[in-house]
Chains A and B, each alone.
Chain A
Amino acid sequence: MIAAATTDAFLERAPVLLRDAVTGFLPEPWRTLVNALIAVGLILGIFGTLFAFITLAERKILGRVQNRPGPNRAPIPFINKRFFGLSQPFADGVKSLTKEDIVPRDADKVLHYLAPVALLAFSILTFAVIPYGRNLVPVELDAAVLYFFAAGAATELAVFMAGWASRNKYSLLAAMRALAQLISYELPLLLSWVPVVLIAGTLSTTAIVDAQAGWKFGFIPHWHVFTPWGFAGFVIFMVAALAESNRSPFDTPEAESELIAGHLTEYSGFKYALFFMAEYFGMLALSGMAITLFLGGWRSPLPFLEFIPSYLWFGGKLLALIFGFIWIRATFPRLRIDQLTRFAWKFLVPLALINLGNTIVWSLMSNSSALMQLARWPVCAAIILVPFVVLGRKLSAGVAPRIYRYA
């Protein structure tokens, strides 16, 4: 049994074994508490480090796309070697810690202080329910998916707090934009994963990952993304996730060419760094959830690759999605706020609703004959593709390349 062998493999079990070795001697009630604390510490440590290096990776990749080297000057202390600027994140950290923290005189000081803290707190909360590997989920919740999006939605409040408390007109405009944008995209984001819950029949993240186990014909994984409704849901989810994490091309709240830095205009020093961190945490959490819901969670794509530990698969998928985020940022210009909300309400929401119906058709057809099993592929693909084309045409009506005449 390959599966059993991999489950028992040392590397696969290493994190759990290590934890048990540390906390095994404690009495039962204490052990749960210490285990939870270890999980919290690990999440903060790992994602904190990941955040630091993703900022570097983002700048490096942006640089590569833009025909320049990116940051490569910061040396490693004491040995004075540069290593491609690998210590840049730490230099940035020290800089933001030592910078003066300026609070505008007229700002609401309490809210101004609270906003970055609240934003960070809510985005860290979402990490609790993501399964990072086999048996590696910090908190087992029956309604984990619901909890994740409830905690994630609270970040909108923090962004608005920041914009409102700064007493700056740019920040205020940004806060209004952020509210409009985040509320608009909350809906397609939520609707895009309902089909997954419908098919998997559970709100627990672990069970959703389990529902995606196995391979068809031995090489096509049973991931939700490899079905018509799953692919559509994944794309809608990722587009909404881009908007939810304020990334280009949906970065209207902090549109630097219009609103200076939007809701971050009046933040400096470490508070600014906290915002930055929270934004990356939000991006990481949403990517993690996308992996859990659509990309098979920590499962390997091919049977013979199962020897690689599950948490590495999760990490690899996470980095691939983050790379996608960075690539999109390097390529696309920004949408205007009214176009952005129109895109959500007139395109993504109807499409997500149709996808929900599509999933119902899919699951109804799956219970009948082999012919129906085969027929559901083109049928479900058509159900989502036709509205996609029609809605897309309507959305981009009047916008087309032009032919120019010469005098």
Chain B
Amino acid sequence: MSISDLSPLGAQGGSHVRAVHDEFHGDLLEVSMGPHHPSTHGVFRMIVTLDGETIVKLKPVFGYLHRNHEKLGENTSYLGSMPYTDRLDYLCSMTNNWAYAIAVEKLAGQPVPERAEYVRVILAEITRLLNHTCLAGFLMQDLGCSGTPLMYAFREREKILDLFESLSGSRMMCNYQRFGGCRVDPSADWLEGAKQLTDGYGQFLDEFEALLTGNEIIMARTQGTGVLSPELAVAAGVTGPMLRATGVNYDLRKTDAYGVYPRFDFRVPLGAHGDVYDRYMVRVLEMRESIKILQQALAGIPAGPIMDPKAKLRGFRPKAGEAYGRIEGPKGEIGFYLVSDGSPNPYRYRVRAPSFINLTILEDMCLGQTVADAVIILGSVDIVLGEVDR
């Protein structure tokens, strides 16, 4: 009996899976990578079956960080859930807040003032810079760089976190968006700081790319590794940079045109191979587009109220109904599905977590690759366990 018979994917997982039934191959080795492994980005676990160094089976195990997020949401008031959304993807609290706010605003029919829409776009794009920069740093660390790219990525992250802290009072758990606007109005100084960050970011990216993008070893390691076909990506519901790296043109900022995104001129970079290198490059190019959006938004931000004056914060009870709000988060489509029965708490609260859904096809990408590849493939998926396990 060959291993491809044993494989849960059967024949279709097959082209990469070598038959190992002859006497020249010994036993298979089952290695449990995680939940305390240096490169599983948290408490993720992969049970990997190896033939030599080649992966013939990979079973992802998660749930170590499960904390009843959705049930908590159903037992908390609408506003009470807002700080909890920070803890989902703890690198991107601003976009999590926004996606949740959009869902509730849809449910309650709450308008948002223009200035708040601009601030939301600015914060979302800064979050995208933050997330992609960190991801690039982590990915390079997984590739075996001795910390150099990560340190420079984290230098930029510090600048962004300082901005977040001066605006919301917290570096990572911002809890900033409200239904019908934002919690505080950014000062002129803050906007100037954001402008400086934006203007300096292109230079950082040039520096980062000069060291890494053209590096022979990085290209040899990542090109052709962890290939994801567009068909499988669409069938599995993969979104975000990972989907666009396979060449599928799907960016909610363009297709949904939510917020004030239609006012800005930006492009959506697409990959062609769907491998790790494409995923890395699509993110880098997306950062450059984000810089363009930020420059336009910071130049065009109007004066006015940051919060809709009619917005009701206390005793907030939307009428019975359901709503699904989604935005293009840095990791993919982050969506919140809410069912209201007219009470202060949602009847049903559901999170569509992009990293969780992007992670489901991990085995398909890893089969036939080596252990070293599995680590960078996982790194290129861009997961945050707080969001995967919820």
Q: For chain B residues 349-383, which have a beta carbon within 8 Å of chain A?
A: 370-373, 375
* CA–CA, A170 and B53, complex, Å: 11
Contacts A257-B39, A407-B251 given: A402-B281 contact, CB under 8 Å? yes
Tell me whether B151 and A333 are in contact (CB under 8 A).
no
- Number of B interface residues at 8 Å Cβ cutoff, please give it: 52
Tell me whether A336 and B370 are in contact (CB under 8 A).
yes
B214 interfacial contact with A, CB 8 Å? yes
* CA–CA, A407 and B218, complex, Å: 26
* CA–CA, A35 and B314, complex, Å: 89
Contacts A169-B31, A404-B270, A405-B270 given: A255-B144 contact, CB under 8 Å? yes
Write out, one digit per residue, whether chain B residues 125-137 have a CB within 8 A of any chain A CB (1) or not (0).
0000000000000
Tell me whether A338 and B223 are in contact (CB under 8 A).
no
B37 interfacial contact with A, CB 8 Å? yes
* CA–CA, A339 and B148, complex, Å: 23
Contacts A398-B224, A406-B268, A407-B270 given: A255-B372 contact, CB under 8 Å? yes
B145 interfacial contact with A, CB 8 Å? yes
Tell me whether A331 and B211 are in contact (CB under 8 A).
yes
| B148 partner, pick from A65, A402, A407, beta carbons under 8 A | A65
Residues of A within 8 A of B272 (CB): 402, 404-405
B202 interfacial contact with A, CB 8 Å? no
Tell me whether A258 and B39 are in contact (CB under 8 A).
yes
- Within the complex, the shortest CB–CB distance from A177 to chain B, in Å, comes to 8
Residue of B nearest to A326 (CB): B146
- Within the complex, the shortest CB–CB distance from B275 to chain A, in Å, comes to 10
- Within the complex, the shortest CB–CB distance from A336 to chain B, in Å, comes to 5
A385 interfacial contact with B, CB 8 Å? no
B263 interfacial contact with A, CB 8 Å? no
Write out, one digit per residue, whether chain A residues 215-253 have a CB within 8 A of any chain B CB (1) or not (0).
000000000000000000000000000000000110110
Tell me whether A67 and B29 are in contact (CB under 8 A).
no
How many residue pairs bridge A and B at CB < 8 Å? 124
Tell me whether A257 and B152 are in contact (CB under 8 A).
no
Residues of A within 8 A of B278 (CB): 402
A334 interfacial contact with B, CB 8 Å? yes
B77 interfacial contact with A, CB 8 Å? no
A213 interfacial contact with B, CB 8 Å? no
- Within the complex, the shortest CB–CB distance from A178 to chain B, in Å, comes to 13
Q: For chain A residues 285-336, which have a beta carbon within 8 Å of chain B?
A: 329-336
A396 interfacial contact with B, CB 8 Å? yes
Residue of A nearest to B220 (CB): A399
B106 interfacial contact with A, CB 8 Å? no
Tell me whether A333 and B281 are in contact (CB under 8 A).
no
B217 interfacial contact with A, CB 8 Å? yes
Contacts A257-B141, A258-B375, A404-B285 given: A249-B217 contact, CB under 8 Å? yes
A337 interfacial contact with B, CB 8 Å? yes
A260 interfacial contact with B, CB 8 Å? yes
Can you report 18 residue pairs joining A to B where beta carbons are below 8 Å apart?
A: A68-B151, A170-B31, A176-B52, A252-B372, A258-B372, A260-B37, A329-B146, A330-B146, A331-B148, A333-B144, A333-B215, A335-B221, A338-B370, A401-B214, A404-B270, A404-B282, A407-B254, A407-B267
16 more contacts with CB within 8 A, not counting A333-B218, A335-B217, A339-B220, are: A67-B151, A173-B53, A249-B217, A251-B144, A252-B372, A257-B141, A258-B39, A258-B371, A259-B371, A260-B37, A332-B215, A332-B217, A333-B215, A400-B219, A402-B273, A406-B270
CB-based closest 10 A-B pairs: A334-B144, A66-B151, A406-B267, A407-B249, A333-B143, A257-B39, A407-B268, A333-B144, A333-B145, A399-B219
